[in-house]
Structure 1
Amino acid sequence: MNILYHHRTRGRHVEGVHIRGIVNALRELGHDVAVMSFPGADPEHDHEVPAGGASASAASAGNGRLAGLVTKLPGVVFELCELLYNAVTFVRMSRAWRAAPPRLVYERYSLFLFATVWMARRRGIPIVLEINDSALVERVRPLTMRGLAQRVERWCFHQATGLVFISTYFRDKAAAAYGDIAPSVVSPNAVDLPSFDPSKFDRDALRAARGLSGRAVCGHIGVFAHWHGVDGFVEAIANQLESAPDLALVFVGDGKTLPAVRDLVAARGLSDRVLLPGRVPHNEVASWIACMDYAVLPNSNHYGSPMKLFELMGMGVAVVAPDYAPVAEVIADGHTGWLFPRGDATACVELVLALASRGEECRRVGEAARDYIASERQWRNNAEQLLTLVPAGAAA
């Protein structure tokens, strides 16, 4: 079946990982997939910016400049640009469909984007929307024209052939707000398991090279931002590390709060116990996870499905995580990870400290986490699930 994957994102970092995961999984299932990206973006070939800061390609750099300029616009102007992008989509889709009509359109849904749904319905082509964002939830960038965004979203959710939500909470919220939405499935994020295979790494050599030999290692992968709670967690546990003398922390990532965390670690004299390597290319993430005995997710949100959770579990590293519903859908407390009451920083720190001396439990739970990922949370599972929303005649 010819499938057109459409998205209006920059296609970088976690977005790019998700796009490549779904596209490659659909191709492995025997489908022909073409990707239509935001002009200048190419998540299939552009890689993350290396640690040295050089761009992966001229196209990626151009995309970054264009998208960076747009995101700096005032709220209402930015949202008007999002609306105007429907005209761009209409022109590009019309050309693509004349050249090679798809049997299915799969779109990573974006606010104010309705042209693809309208065109697919008019031509009788099934369209499935993947819902990672919504006008119903609080976003990093405040939404100015919320009422209009919700009206557009309601129409899209009703007119689409099917909807793929990243969590049950997200689907329930949409159904409560918009009523009888299109048929839907819940597909949390997933992982490319061959790329996150602990047997590919010399764990002892990696730990020795990074000064972690002989220690219990708790890690984290992700953006340093206030809503992820990394800065608060490090500050809280810094006062208690003396109670777990063999514990080392490895927090991989970059963001606004990283400088403050580095200053705190230096001021407390903890540089030998708290490693902060900064952001690393995605293809190096697994080597850092291979050094960990267990991991921590200090905070999340009510609707999200953190990609880092699946990559950690895929490497056989179980996670201490807050009990938000989407996280609890993935982690079985005490079996594939450990849950603490969301918002309870003290409970999180206490659990992390206690696990430092429970190495056998960490290994057992980590193995169960990887088994769960292997059986249910590979990108192939997501691709198979989304295809159940497509009418049988369309796939013929």
Structure 2
Amino acid sequence: MKVLYHHRTQGRRVEGVHIRGVANALRELGHEVRVVSFPGADPELEPGVPSGPGPAKGLAASPAAAGDEKGRLAGLVSRLPGVLFEFAEIGYNLLTWWRIRVEIARSRPDFIYERYSLFLFMTIWIARRRGIPVILEINDSAVVQRLRPLWLKPLARRIEAWCLTRATGIVFISTYFKELLTTHYGQLPPSVVSPNAVDARFDPGRHDRDELRRRHDLEGRVVCGHMGVFARWHGVPGFVEAIIDRLQDTPALTLLLVGDGADLPAVRREVEARGLGDRIRLPGRVPHHQIPEWIACMDYAFLPDSNEYGSPMKLFELMAMGVAVVAPDYDPIAEVIEPGTTGWLFPRKDMRACVDQVIELSGRTDERQRVGAAARGYIERERRWRNNATQLLSLLPGAGKAST
């Protein structure tokens, strides 16, 4: 089948990982996928990875300089104050009207797959007029608490209700999200729940753990790791503050915190002021294709906080590498982790409980290895991108009954 995959993100961070994962999985299943991206964005060109000489997979590429200019324009738009930014999002429907019509005429897709964005209704409108099935992937909503305040909330919810109730099918990232939107919008089209997933690079067999630990001076240590943004809503600063006085009780334990963000400088200053630079390693942000090498250095990991509806990509990447995770008991995480079998859960927002679990597990080598192996087994069976692709295809008319 021919698939038109449309999204309105810049595809630079985790959203790009997701887009590449689903698009490539559909191709591996034998389908032709054309990705239509935000102008100037190309999530299929993974940052830090040289592109090959083959033809472009996504929308026709423009010169690098033009792409840079569009990227800068997107950055300026994203910094518009409140309601002006939301009016720009609404205006994006005009560009979508032109681009989707051109792509339908060019590639004649059998169905459209769209990563849903607030205020974006044009794809649904065109698909219904043309009789083309359209599946929405829901990662955001007007009914959840967002980092960026929503000024036109009543309008956003009306557009969202219209889109969700008129799609052919819906892909939710968690059961919690599905139940929440069903409560707000009533009966929805057929749906599936597809948490995030990983690709084949996240395989411990592809990496020399001993050599990597030597390279990063982590030999003979118990390494507990974390990946992600240093920001209050992810809980890393709070975790460091809570554990920093207890590291003396666990001399073998080293924390490896990979990532960057607004709070990283403050965390780094605190670590240096306490003389703990050797016990709390802060390598900063690394390209996504290098993430498996850093995970390979870890014995186990922690996720100090999340949100009620999201599906943290890092959770799956860690588990795929045989690294089990101490994580808060939000419903989407509890949907993935079976306590004591594929990971460990602690009461959400209870940072002391998180730290206690991390400290306790530092001395339990056998348990870490047993749970890590089970976590990897779960990912191999259920959370590769091919699973997500198979699930979304089940929503097409005549493909069989999906969960509702």
Partner of 2:140: 133
Deviations 1:194-242 (A, max 9, x none): 2011111111111122121111000001111110000000111001011
What's the TM-score once normalised by structure 1's chain length?
0.96
Q: Is the partner of 2:340 in helix, strand or coil?
A: coil
2:394 to 375, 388, 391: 388
Residue 123 to residue 359, structure 1, CA distance change in 2 (3 Å): same
The residue type equivalent to 2:335 in the other structure is E
Give distance in 2, aligned partners of 1:379 and 1:244.
38
Residue 316 to residue 351, structure 1, CA distance change in 2 (3 Å): same
Partner of 1:328: 334
User: Is the Cα–Cα contact under 8 Å of residues 230 and 261 in structure 2 kept in the other structure?
Assistant: yes
Q: Is the partner of 1:313 in helix, strand or coil?
A: helix
1:352 to 344, 353, 358: 358
Give distance in 2, aligned partners of 1:44 and 1:105.
18
Give distance in 1, aligned partners of 2:258 and 2:45.
24
Superposed, 1:207-356 pairs within 5 Å as 207-356=213-362
Residue 231 to residue 249, structure 1, CA distance change in 2 (3 Å): same
**2:182 matches 1:175:** yes
Partner of 1:379: 385
Give distance in 2, aligned partners of 1:123 and 1:47.
36
**2:206 matches 1:200:** yes
User: Is the Cα–Cα contact under 8 Å of residues 12 and 48 in structure 1 kept in the other structure?
Assistant: no
Q: Is the partner of 1:21 in helix, strand or coil?
A: helix
Aligned residues: 388
User: Deviation at 1:324?
Assistant: 0.1
Deviations 1:332-352 (A, max 9, x none): 000000000001000000000
Give distance in 1, aligned partners of 2:256 and 2:11.
27
Deviations 1:249-288 (A, max 9, x none): 0000010010010011011110011100000000110000
User: Is the Cα–Cα contact under 8 Å of residues 13 and 48 in structure 1 kept in the other structure?
Assistant: no
**2:70 matches 1:67:** no
Give distance in 2, aligned partners of 1:373 and 1:201.
18
Partner of 2:168: 161
Partner of 1:53: none
Runs of 5+ unmatched residues, structure 1: 51-56
User: Is the Cα–Cα contact under 8 Å of residues 108 and 129 in structure 1 kept in the other structure?
Assistant: yes
Partner of 2:11: 11
Deviations 1:11-50 (A, max 9, x none): 1110110000000000111111100000110011242599
The residue type equivalent to 1:100 in the other structure is S
The residue type equivalent to 2:110 in the other structure is R
Superposed, 1:354-373 pairs within 5 Å as 354-373=360-379
Give distance in 2, aligned partners of 1:225 and 1:319.
19
Give distance in 2, aligned partners of 1:58 and 1:240.
51
Residue 357 to residue 393, structure 1, CA distance change in 2 (3 Å): closer
Q: Percent identity?
A: 64
User: Is the Cα–Cα contact under 8 Å of residues 393 and 399 in structure 2 kept in the other structure?
Assistant: no
User: Deviation at 1:64?
Assistant: 3.1
Runs of 5+ unmatched residues, structure 2: 51-63
Give distance in 1, aligned partners of 2:319 and 2:293.
14
Deviations 1:280-317 (A, max 9, x none): 00011000000000000000000000000000000000
Partner of 1:77: 84
**2:9 matches 1:2:** no
**2:121 matches 1:114:** yes
Q: Is the partner of 1:180 in helix, strand or coil?
A: coil
1:146 to 137, 150, 153: 153
Give distance in 1, aligned partners of 2:209 and 2:352.
31
Q: Is the partner of 1:128 in helix, strand or coil?
A: strand
Q: Is the partner of 1:392 in helix, strand or coil?
A: coil
The residue type equivalent to 2:11 in the other structure is G
Q: What is the root-mean-square deviation in Å for CA atoms of aligned residues?
A: 1.5
User: Is the Cα–Cα contact under 8 Å of residues 83 and 113 in structure 1 kept in the other structure?
Assistant: yes
Partner of 1:54: none
The residue type equivalent to 2:292 in the other structure is A
Give distance in 2, aligned partners of 1:135 and 1:114.
14
The residue type equivalent to 2:176 in the other structure is Y
The residue type equivalent to 2:163 in the other structure is C
The residue type equivalent to 2:109 in the other structure is P
